[in-house]
Structure 1
């Protein structure tokens, strides 16, 4: 059985701020902020609140996915009394996948939503984008196109390398599908640039190939 990686603890470097792991990139061991176990629990409720079930938690979210940070803090503290705004800030600033963004006292998830959300990112200007999948799914995708599964948007990668990383989470034999983003865009298909990933609705098969 494959062993799950131990969650990294949160620390703070006097020069570079929050980081995850044993030492900062500069070599400083930093000061302790939060254990890996608590960081993992905090990460799960943040993800749930901003991507999946804000209403169930009583969190008000606007149509573009933004919530008030102090409201998020109150909701999290109702579940985990040990959590502070500093812990939440540390989680956002050290997220290695760039899943969240902050604007003043508001915060939102960039991608990964299962709820209906209208993200207001600019359209991507790339000519090609990529999607990593398994051998079994590749044939099906070529036949019916790309469609969101358990998420509001299809998630696309900007490079082949990133697509491989995503696919390897689910399969040992990744297949990379390329998308003619330029042609899709010219024909009215909107693809948003969310930073780490690109987001789209259903993509018909005529725009994709292995």
Structure 2
């Protein structure tokens, strides 16, 4: 459920987390999920298939995306599209000067390295299964289905992400400071996620706990 507080903007849930007000209804759970799947597909995976143009940095004209959306969903409006972006706690998307893009999760090739600030944290984290850990420590971390490796800024976030796929996550610590000094590009896309084209094995170690 997405609602809008007159003082604090769009939020998800029954009441505004900042003031407790109920706010105005914008989007129910079912439509939020359907719209979310469409936006994710259009901005991350198949822009050509839905008929939108994407620039090399992943930006898409907001009006164009909205028009395509309206043809699929008669209830689709610009406000509902914007509310999906602005209420998203995971910071999946961003809107700037009439354009929209996904911050991460792309399977289509986009250049985000030149467009986001360099990571400033000394260490980053990556959660994997027990079976994967040894292979990554030997060979490094490189993307498989996506364009970028997605690293977590916090140990707990890496554990949370890995727990979706395995019951016994292994958390690999990335010496980001050393990697960047040696020329590995690592960029920050939001408070939780950092991207790289790949991390060679010499910067990786297993950590037992935070």
Same fold at TM > 0.5: yes
**Structure 1 outlier segments of 4+, above 3 Å:** none
1:197 offset after TM fit, Å? 0.9
| SS state at 1:60 partner | coil
Match for residue 207 of structure 1 among 200, 203, 207: 203
Match for residue 98 of structure 1 among 91, 96, 99: 91
CA deviations 1:35-78 (Å, max 9, x no partner) are: 10000000000011111100111111110111110000011111
| SS state at 2:195 partner | strand
Q: How many Å separate the matches in 2 of 1:28 and 1:34?
A: 17
What does 1:109-120 align with in structure 2 at a 5 Å threshold? 109-119=102-112, 120=115
Structure 2: give runs of 5+ residues left out of the alignment.
none
Residue in 1 that maps onto 2:142 = 147
Residue in 2 that maps onto 1:5 = none
Q: How many Å separate the matches in 1 of 2:16 and 2:84?
A: 15
1:171 offset after TM fit, Å? 1.6
1:142 offset after TM fit, Å? 1.0
Q: Does 1:74 align with 2:67?
A: yes
Structure 1: give runs of 5+ residues left out of the alignment.
1-8
Q: Does 1:45 align with 2:41?
A: no
Match for residue 133 of structure 2 among 133, 138, 141: 138
TM-score between both structures, scaled by the size of structure 2: 0.93
1:133 offset after TM fit, Å? 1.3
Q: How many Å separate the matches in 2 of 1:28 and 1:157?
A: 33
Computed over aligned residues only, the root mean square deviation of the Cα atoms, in angstroms, reads 1.0
Across the two proteins, how many residue pairs are aligned to each other?
Answer: 202
1:125 offset after TM fit, Å? 2.0
Q: How many Å separate the matches in 2 of 1:126 and 1:96?
A: 21
Q: How many Å separate the matches in 2 of 1:164 and 1:89?
A: 30
| SS state at 1:129 partner | strand
TM-score between both structures, scaled by the size of structure 1: 0.93
CA deviations 1:103-145 (Å, max 9, x no partner) are: 1101111111001000111221221111011112111111211
Match for residue 198 of structure 1 among 194, 197, 200: 194
Q: How many Å separate the matches in 1 of 2:59 and 2:141?
A: 27
1:153 offset after TM fit, Å? 0.1
Q: Does 1:188 align with 2:183?
A: yes
1:159 offset after TM fit, Å? 1.1
| SS state at 1:89 partner | helix
Residue in 2 that maps onto 1:3 = none
Residue in 1 that maps onto 2:11 = 19
